[in-house]
Structure 1
Amino acid sequence: MNEDLLFNAAPGGPPRYSHLSHKPVQYLAVADRHGQVIGYAWANDADDAAGWVIRKAGGDKAFNEGSVWAIKLHDAKARGIAPSVALAEMIQESDPTKSSHVVSGSLTEAANADVVRRLANPEYG
């Protein structure tokens, strides 16, 4: 009972986009059915990076509704598509009658993923 536990990383698991990019990223805003932004999806093909950033100010509701968008990114990576294509699919498949949707015309560029994180949560920076 006094021995240290050893944890060895096991290979495998589902494929994931990198969550880091210091290069320019594309991003889009996602809103709830009332038009309140709940988070942002971002992507950078050069780093094979993408992520979902929840607006913490949206609370549990934003977290719950936002999980769908994180899953969309995981599924896109599993299908082997580029991060920017994943964003394009999000836009194309977005439905404003659902609990959350892509804000029309919100696709834009930021200097890097940290800019998007600060946009979602100003206290991040």
Structure 2
Amino acid sequence: MSLTDEPKFRTTFAPESYARTTESAIRYVPVSIDSTIVGYLWAAVSDDAAKYVAREDAGDLGANAGVAWVQRLRQARANGLAPLQALRHWVGQEEDPRAGRIDLDTEQELPNLKALEDLAAG
């Protein structure tokens, strides 16, 4: 392999994650870094789905937070938490420099994931 070759990545192990899409209603919370909303963590109300959605206007900060949330959600799933339990697990905790923070009393519901994606798109 030379420096001009495209690297080939292969995941050797990663804990399972929740499904990344749902047709059900969702509960969501805004994720903030330095008091700026960079994205939303959501969980399905009636099935096994949860994910983080970055706000388009958050740029790299929002996208980088997504990497941390993938790890956190996989950890939550591995520890047996249901999606809504995972969503609520980090509420009120100290801000993580990469993942951000979720303030108390910010959980809301939307009828579907598309509504949250529209919100994140601005």
Whole-angstrom distance in 2 between the partners of 1:114 and 1:102? 21
Identity of aligned residues (%): 29
Partner of 2:94: 95
* CA distance in structure 1 between the aligned counterparts of 2:48 and 2:73, rounded to whole angstroms: 12
Amino acid at match of 2:37: V
More helix by share: 1
Query: Which residue of structure 2 aligns with residue 19 of structure 1?
Result: 20
* Aligned residue number for residue 30 of structure 2: 29
Q: 1:45 to 1:24 in 2, by over 3 A?
A: closer
Instruction: Give SS of 1:29's match.
Output: strand
- Using the size of structure 2 for normalisation, the TM-score is 0.78
> What 5-or-longer segments of structure 1 have no aligned partner?
1-11
For 1:1-125, list aligned pairs within 5 A. Answer: 14-33=15-34, 35-92=35-92, 94-96=93-95, 98-99=96-97, 100-122=100-122
The residue type paired with residue 17 of structure 1 is Y
* AA in 2 matched with 1:47: D
Task: Tell me which stretches of 4 or more aligned residues in structure 1 moved more than 4 Å.
Answer: none
Structure 1 residue 101 displacement after superposition:
0.8
Q: Deviations over 1:29-63 (max 9, x none)?
A: 00111x11000000015220101001121111222
Alpha-carbon distance in structure 1 between the residues aligned to 2:87 and 2:108: 11
Q: Secondary structure, in 3 states, of the residue corresponding to 1:67?
A: helix
Please report the RMSD computed on the Cα atoms of aligned residues, expressed in angstroms. 1.8
